[in-house]
């Protein structure tokens, strides 16, 4: 289930949709440059978007909805991986973390320490965790694939129930 709503912004038209998945609801926001935000909503949040319409001509909305629906239904990551992304400004380290996370294959996991090591910053696993928490487009930049060194889930911006569900979906 989803709905979308056009939102005016200084750089042009921006749009968003709310999707309802088994662990909860997410808000996905995009403009002509790509998806720039994915947010996990609290119960009842986003209800005002119900019944809103698509932008004229559809734009990215149908593509986003289809890709995320395929992932939700079958774990098929291919459409999500191909969605255009508009990453926000971040430090060189944080951008490097997001790029490294984006290379983790669907169904795989890497530890916070392995990400730090790959970036030439051994011992920066906590900083990797903070970069994951600052990720404005979780699911698209799949920080749910980053786990603790002992195999535990670690943390996740949407809560551990979301992380567990996303990992199970990809298995």
Looking at residue 147, its pLDDT comes to: 97
Given 9, 106, 132, 143, the catalytic residue: 143
Q: Which residue has the higher pLDDT, 115 or 50?
A: 115
Query: Which stretch of 4-13, 67-76, 155-164 has the lowest confidence by average pLDDT?
Result: 4-13
The β-bridge partners of 27 are 18, 39
Give the pLDDT confidence score for residue 31 in this predicted structure: 86
Cα dihedral 39→154→133→125 (10° resolution): -160
Tell whether the torsion through CA atoms of 42, 139, 111 and 109 is positive or negative: positive
3-class DSSP state of 168:
helix
Q: What is the pTM of this model?
A: 0.85
Backbone torsions φ then ψ of 48, nearest 5 degrees: -65, -15
How far is the C-alpha of 42 from the C-alpha of 4, rounded, in Å? Answer: 17
Measured CA to CA in angstroms, residue 64 lies from 31, 79, 96, 100 at distances of 12, 8, 25, 23
Residue 20, token pair as written in the block: 């309802």
Is 19:37 a contact under the CB 8 Å cutoff? no
- Confidence at 47, pLDDT banded by 50, 70, 90: low
pLDDT in tens, 116-129: 999 999 999 999 99
pLDDT in tens, 101-111: 999 999 999 99
Strand bridging mode 12-21 / 2-9: antiparallel
- Kindly tell me if the per-residue pLDDT of 4 is higher than 90: no
On the question of pLDDT at 30 being above 80, the answer is yes
Q: Which of 35-49, 53-67, 87-101, 151-165 has the lowest mean pLDDT?
A: 53-67
Confidence band of 57 (pLDDT split at 50, 70, 90): low
**Cβ neighbours of residue 84 closer than 8 Å, sequence gap 6 or more:** 33, 34, 35, 60
Residue 45 pLDDT > 60: yes
Query: What DSSP string describes 48-100?
Result: GGTT--PPTT-TTHHHHHHHHHHHHHH---HHHHTS-B-PPP--HHHHHHHHH
Please indicate whether residue 162 or residue 46 has the higher confidence score (pLDDT): 162
Looking at the predicted structure, is the pLDDT value of residue 1 above 50? Answer: no
Active site residue 9: no
Write down the pLDDT at residue 56.
Answer: 55
């Amino acid at each position: 289930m989803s709905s979308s709503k056009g939102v005016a912004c200084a750089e042009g038209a921006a749009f968003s949709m709310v999707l309802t998945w088994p662990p909860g609801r997410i808000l996905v926001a995009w403009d002509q440059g790509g998806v720039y935000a994915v947010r996990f909503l609290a119960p009842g949040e986003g209800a005002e978007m119900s019944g809103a319409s698509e932008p004229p001509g559809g734009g990215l909305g149908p593509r986003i909805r289809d890709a995320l629906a395929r992932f939700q239904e079958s774990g098929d990551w291919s459409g999500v991986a191909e969605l255009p992304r508009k990453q926000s400004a971040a430090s060189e380290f944080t951008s490097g973390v997001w790029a490294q996370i984006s290379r983790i294959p669907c169904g795989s996991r890497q530890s916070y320490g392995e990400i730090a090591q790959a970036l030439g910053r051994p011992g920066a696993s906590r900083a990797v965790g903070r970069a994951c928490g600052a990720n404005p487009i979780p699911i698209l930049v799949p920080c749910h694939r980053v786990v603790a060194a002992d195999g535990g889930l670690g943390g996740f911006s949407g809560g551990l129930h979301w992380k567990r569900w996303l990992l199970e979906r990809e298995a």
